[in-house]
Chains A and B, each alone.
Chain A
């Protein structure tokens, strides 16, 4: 995936998921709404981007490396430490109440349980960005 040129006004979104099709669908949907979208498939790829670019919104899957992974929590921590203004939505099909609580403790703005309609994610994103 390529780093996108950023216009002055467009909001910049980072999507982090290890599933190609999910990334492709979300990228297309959010680009269609006028966002500038970058995508990462691994924790370290996301961290390298977060170290070099400022995002308005990060949408990350909780699990990036298969069974038992909670890499999304690390991304929440990284985002929270680097830029207090960046909003972050965590998505998970496996989230327990403990993990959900932990994600909010680390600074997540929303924790959404999969499956979630793209339109609903986008509406929550809009609300968060306008807060």
Chain B
């Protein structure tokens, strides 16, 4: 019987490897590091090393709570220190079902010297439904702690208009599906411009994911978007490289909104 053996492997110390992908504020050719999205890889040498397999398995097993917690613990324990925002991914179902999640997150942040004010919770979800009362309560408690909220994969899965109204996010993250061809695909451009207007209405900022080409970077700026993430600005980094990137600011004492400049070209 192998039931739960794979899950135990995932949850063993060192089972989850955190990675950190830069999120940048882009102006013209210049990109300024504003933070990292904390990503997770499963145990090395297993089927679960790729994140897409890992999280599909987790969803099928309905083990989002325990794995979300493990990913956050690993991410914060190794997180680059400094004036950068850290985005951690959390399933909506975890927020809805895990009544102690916000306390857990705050404790994990404090234990690792991460200010809650520098945290963003990125809500991901591909499967309905969840406990909406518990979900709303968790959102309220995150706000009390000044933790920002992002809606991931907007336009896909459960990240729909209802979710936007329920969450009132600080950030809308647009999936690469819409981003990667927006420089020459009028339909994708229309979707992005529409989301940008919607974000503006909610007082939210838009983050474009999957930016890999200069033409896309320039097109996004024409659409009014400046927060970007993708291989053009940096692949997911291990903890050491993410710390080096953060600390390479040297004596620059700029705020988290403008900590590091480099040319993204």
Contacts and interface: CB of A to CB of B under 8 A. Distances in A.
A binds B: yes
Interface stretch (B50-58, B166-174, B176-184): B50-58
Interface string B32-65: 0000000000000111111011101100110000
A18 interface: yes
Contacts of B45: 2
Contact of A45 (B1, B50, B57): B57
A119 B203 CA distance: 65
B47 A49 contact: yes
Interface residues of B, number: 18
Nearest to A44: B60
A86 interface: no
A66 B46 contact: no
Interface in A41-92: 41-45, 47-49, 51-52, 65-66
A108 interface: no
Contacts of B57: 44-45, 47-48
A66 B3 CA distance: 10
Given A41-B6, A44-B61, A47-B56, A1 B47 contact: yes
Interface in B1-29: 1-3, 5-6
A49 to B, nearest CB: 6
Given A44-B57, A44-B61, A18 B47 contact: no
Contacts of B54: 48
A48 B5 contact: no
Contact of A2 (B6, B46, B60): B46
Nearest to A39: B47
Contacts of A100: none
Contacts of B46: 1-2
B2 A48 contact: no
B50 A3 contact: yes
A127 B6 CA distance: 33
A36 interface: no
A66 B47 contact: no
Contacts of A42: 2-3, 6
Interface in A5-41: 18, 20, 38, 40-41
Interface residues of A, number: 19
A66 B50 CA distance: 28
Nearest to B1: A66
Contacts of A45: 6, 47, 57
Given A45-B57, A51-B56, A40 B47 contact: yes
Q: Which of A40, A45, A49, A51 has the most CB of B within 10 A?
A: A45
A42 B61 CA distance: 10
A38 B3 CA distance: 18
B1 A38 contact: no
Nearest to B54: A48
Q: Name the residue in A38, A43, A44 with the highest tally of chain B Cβ atoms < 10 Å from its Cβ.
A: A44
B49 A3 contact: yes
B152 to A, nearest CB: 18
B105 to A, nearest CB: 26
A52 B56 contact: yes
B1 A52 contact: no
B1 A18 contact: yes
Contact of A38 (B2, B6, B47): B47
B3 A48 contact: no
10 contacts: A3-B47, A3-B49, A40-B47, A42-B3, A45-B47, A47-B60, A48-B56, A48-B60, A52-B50, A65-B1
